[in-house]
Amino acid sequence: MTSPVLGADGQELDQIRLLGLGAVGHHGVFEHERVEGQPFGADVVMHLDTRAAARADDLAGTVSYADVADDVAALLGGEPVDLLETLAERIAQAVLARPGVRAVDVTVHKPRAPLTVPFDDVQVSIRRRAVLARRPDGGTRFVLALGANLGDPLGTLREVVGALGHAPGVRTLAVSPLARTAAVLAAGQAAQPDYLNAVVVGATTLAPLELLALGRRLEAEHGRRRDEHWGARTLDVDVISVGDLVVADPVLTLPHPRAHERAFVLVPWAQAEPGAVLPGPAGGLVAELADRAPDRRTVRWLAADWLSGDVPDLPAAGHGVDAGAGAR
């Protein structure tokens, strides 16, 4: 399994390798294997981003390989199973439960398997990916929220919708009307230009982290800078939902943790996809969530057909509205 595993930034992930783990287990289809037991081994390769942990020199930012080794040994010597395939799968799922692990390669060894010919070892090797790194079998619906209030917001959003329509693994199903919204500011934050916002509904064969990477790449291509938290921006691409996934992860939380209270997401989305439902414990019918959103009063329509031609009443650069405490 030498093919690389890529992170949300499109770069190859780092690896933590645990090789030659072992324990006596009672796995196998024969009665004598269950009674007598025999040695089993495992090699585990975890794919994750270790850069933050390296900068901080802090174990909390990575995975404790000692804890993983204990988990693997417990499974090797624990509840018997018939197949090495089952044992490898259980080890993989235990490792993937560790925060930050995007994929894992597991090889299980059975050097004393009951064969009648000379051999050195029997091995089963698998690769499993965490749900955020796993590509769906078919097209999965997704929702992206687009926003911009610097540069040429209308031109930028038009270019982004076009780019999404040509991105490999992405199919655009609906594009919302364009909304003009007042910037929702944190306490004490300087006023910003109004935003242009839209929502794209589509289907994808990309993994959620690949969809996130696509959004980040589009932001970078349009000059997005992250100098100020909740600051003005040339482009914002937020992954709102991917299928019905509910995942709490520091890199990508699904659905977006504040989507249920953001009218500048909910109002356009409800227009693009009537009857849409936001998944998760804070979710519900998008149209109803939009009506209850605290920033509902800051949203007004600009145009339903905005991808070409003139759009009236565009926000003038530098003329934002202080909408009080809050955050985009």
What residue segments make up the domains of the chain, in order of their start? 14-129, 140-303
Q: How far apart are the C-alpha atoms of 76 and 257, rounded to whole Å?
A: 38
Across 293-298, average pLDDT: 90
pLDDT at residue 323 in the model: 31
Q: How far apart are the C-alpha atoms of 196 and 183, rounded to whole Å?
A: 10
- Give SS3 for 32: helix
pLDDT at 128 over 80: yes
pLDDT at residue 164 in the model: 97
Residue 174 per-residue DSSP state: E
* Mean pLDDT for all residues in the chain: 91
Nearest to 181 by CA among 59, 299, 7: 299
Predicted confidence band of residue 316 (pLDDT cuts 50, 70, 90): low
Q: Are 196 and 178 in contact (CB under 8 A)?
A: yes
Q: How far apart are the C-alpha atoms of 238 and 266, rounded to whole Å?
A: 13
pLDDT at 314 over 80: no
- What residues have CB less than 8 Å from 233, skipping those under 6 apart? 147, 148, 149, 150, 219, 224, 225
pTM given for the model: 0.82
Omega of the bond prior to 80 within 30 degrees of 0, cis? no
pLDDT at 204 over 70: yes
Class of domain 140-303: alpha beta
- Give SS3 for 188: coil
Name the residues annotated as catalytic.
Answer: 110
- Give SS3 for 250: coil
Q: How far apart are the C-alpha atoms of 125 and 120, rounded to whole Å?
A: 16
CATH architecture of 14-129: 2-Layer Sandwich (3.30)
Tell me the pLDDT tens digit for each residue of 154-172.
999 999 999 999 999 999 9
pLDDT at 228 over 70: no
Q: How far apart are the C-alpha atoms of 327 and 263, rounded to whole Å?
A: 12
pLDDT at 273 over 70: yes
